[in-house]
């Protein structure tokens, strides 16, 4: 069977996806990327599909498929987990002359999804007519290694040159010849190792933010999606890792307490080795790469090896955690400075990073505070802070599992062992924390210790202390 290969414009056209699971989500995403008006029908769906519906990006009918759903559809994708349902959808589409793709069911498809290499406006689609999607994916991966991210800018440049030539009064044959010469003259030739001749690679030290993928910067996203090699920390969010190209070589070089992890010397060697061989390398770190991320050691190693590098800042945990808990890190009435430190220090030094004195008008943020809260309490009191100073332990900031426990230095030793990563904020600014979070915490305290008290009793007490 010979297929007719075309690239279809779906922008502004109504496209129907039946099914909103992980497979349906991927199909919806591809249609949204192409500018389609996407309608979805499914009784259940992923959290991402639900977010799209809430934001108005798609229309979602939360129910089973009905033939009337096909009215006005330009094309249809049947992505349910029932092959029988998908077959019925295809039959209904045939009666209406609407193109339909039934996922993983070639017999009930009018068209197939190709395995696509994308470099900006350059797209190369590979199809085996549904006989071997795995082969199509393998060929795509091979092509993505050969056709690097430099093609994006190159195609854009060629398009601009083409527009200029078409704007001139010139013989069509001559114009055609000039266009071919332009391509031949500027083609980015590559050597047998699939990297540009005479070039060295580059390392990007990228901040992935605190975990919420929406806090990733635009520059970090662009760099990450053009990466050929990625070395990432353990605590980088899964949604962020999902943005890494499938063709990229990925290494988890994270460090976790109590677990075997990559040595810093090994990480430095990997960065230098890949960059020396011409790869575009991303060193992906949680938060900001320059704050407790050992970027200084990597920068030093890259400079000694004469490797080009660039630093892409990220939203650090202190800013993200405070924002999520609605704690202003500075406030002109109670705090005019911010101090950031960590409870962990290098094994090669005996120095303690804690200062001898902490002014009362300073907000203190402790990264990686651990669970030795009795020790931390003693250090805070020794540094001159009052035992009544409020503090907050923030766990897994900006994630769906975020928890905030608010207490005082006096009672810090009773703080629960919340899941890592955690952050400790100390200072009067903690009194401004999210009241919804406080109510939830107070309700728990009420049920455990004062069954006859009310939440309002605790809130009123907090307000009186703040005043």
Distances (CA, A) of 14 to 11, 32, 86, 305, 354: 9, 11, 19, 54, 61
Q: How far apart are CA 25 and CA 27, in angstroms?
A: 5
Catalytic annotation, pick one of 69, 233, 288, 428: 233
Residue 40 near residue 87, CB atoms below 8 Å: no
Coil/strand/helix, residue 295 = helix
255 an active-site residue?
yes
Please give the C-alpha separations between residue 433 and each of 64, 95, 326, 327, in angstroms, as whole numbers: 44, 60, 5, 5
Concatenate the DSSP letters of all residues of 61-129 into one string. Answer: E-S---GGGGTT-SEEEE--S-HHHHHHHHHHHHHHT-EEEETT-GGG-SS-PPEEEEETTEEEEE--T
With CA atoms as reference, report the closest residue to 196 among 247, 148, 158: 148
Q: Let me know if 69 is a catalytic residue.
A: no
In the set 255, 273, 379, 434, the catalytic residue is 255
Q: Round to whole Å and give the CA distance between 341 and 336.
A: 17
Alpha carbon distances (Å) from 427 to 38, 193, 387: 49, 56, 11
- Name beta bridge partners: 76: 16, 100
Quote the distance between the C-alpha of residue 10 and its chain's center: 27
The CA R_g of the chain, rounded to the nearest whole Å, is 28
Rounded to whole angstroms, how far apart are CA atoms 235 and 349? 25
Cα dihedral 228, 231, 235, 241 in deg (nearest 10): 10
| Chain-centroid distance, C-alpha 302 | 26
Tokens of 124: 């190369």
Residues whose CB falls within 8 Å of the CB of residue 110, separated by 6 or more in sequence, listed in order: 90, 93, 94, 99, 100, 101
Among candidate residues 16, 30, 32, 14, the one with its CA nearest the CA of residue 86: 16
Rounded CA separation 20/24 (Å): 5
278: left (phi over 0), alpha (psi -120 to 50) or beta: left
Residues with catalytic annotation? Answer: 233, 255
């Amino acid at each position: 069977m010979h297929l007719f290969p075309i690239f279809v414009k779906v922008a502004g056209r109504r496209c129907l996806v039946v099914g909103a699971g992980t497979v349906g989500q991927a199909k919806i995403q591809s249609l949204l990327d192409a500018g389609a008006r996407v309608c979805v029908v499914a009784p259940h769906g992923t959290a991402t599909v639900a977010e799209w519906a809430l934001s108005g990006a798609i229309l979602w009918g939360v129910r089973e498929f009905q033939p009337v759903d096909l009215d006005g559809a330009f094309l249809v994708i049947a992505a349910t987990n029932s092959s029988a349902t998908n077959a019925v959808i295809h039959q209904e589409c045939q009666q209406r002359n609407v193109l339909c793709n039934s996922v993983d069911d070639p017999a009930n498809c009018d068209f197939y999804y190709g395995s696509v290499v994308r470099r900006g406006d350059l797209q190369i689609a590979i199809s085996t007519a549904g006989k071997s999607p795995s082969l199509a994916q393998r060929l795509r991966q091979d092509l993505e290694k050969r056709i690097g991210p430099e093609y994006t800018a190159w195609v854009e440049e060629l398009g601009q040159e083409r527009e200029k030539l078409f704007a001139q009064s010139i013989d069509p044959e001559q114009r055609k010849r000039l266009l071919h010469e332009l391509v031949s003259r500027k083609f980015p030739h590559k050597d047998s190792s699939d990297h540009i001749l005479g070039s060295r690679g580059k390392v990007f030290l990228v901040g992935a933010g605190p975990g919420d993928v929406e806090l990733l910067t635009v520059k970090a996203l662009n760099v990450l999606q053009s990466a050929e090699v990625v070395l990432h920390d353990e605590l980088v969010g899964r949604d962020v890792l999902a943005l890494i190209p499938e063709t990229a070589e990925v290494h988890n070089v994270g460090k976790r307490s109590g677990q075997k992890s990559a040595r810093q010397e090994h990480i430095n060697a990997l960065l230098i080795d890949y960059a020396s061989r011409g790869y575009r390398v991303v060193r992906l770190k949680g938060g900001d790469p320059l704050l407790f991320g050992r970027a200084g050691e990597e920068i030093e190693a890259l400079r000694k090896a004469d490797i080009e590098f660039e630093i892409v800042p990220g939203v650090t945990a202190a800013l993200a955690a405070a924002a999520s808990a609605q704690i202003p890190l500075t406030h002109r009435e109670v705090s005019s400075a911010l101090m950031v430190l960590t409870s962990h220090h290098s094994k090669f030094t005996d120095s303690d990073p804690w200062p001898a004195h902490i002014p009362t008008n300073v907000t203190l943020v402790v990264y990686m505070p651990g669970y030795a809260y009795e020790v931390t309490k003693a250090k805070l009191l020794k540094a001159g802070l009052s035992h009544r100073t409020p503090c907050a332990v923030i766990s897994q900031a900006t994630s769906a599992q975020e928890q905030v426990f608010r207490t005082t230095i006096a009672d810090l030793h009773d703080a629960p062992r919340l899941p890592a990563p955690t952050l400790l904020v100390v200072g009067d600014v903690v009194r401004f924390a999210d009241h919804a979070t406080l109510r939830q915490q107070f309700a728990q305290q009420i049920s455990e210790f004062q069954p006859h008290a009310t939440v309002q009793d605790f809130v009123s007490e907090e307000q009186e202390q703040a005043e």
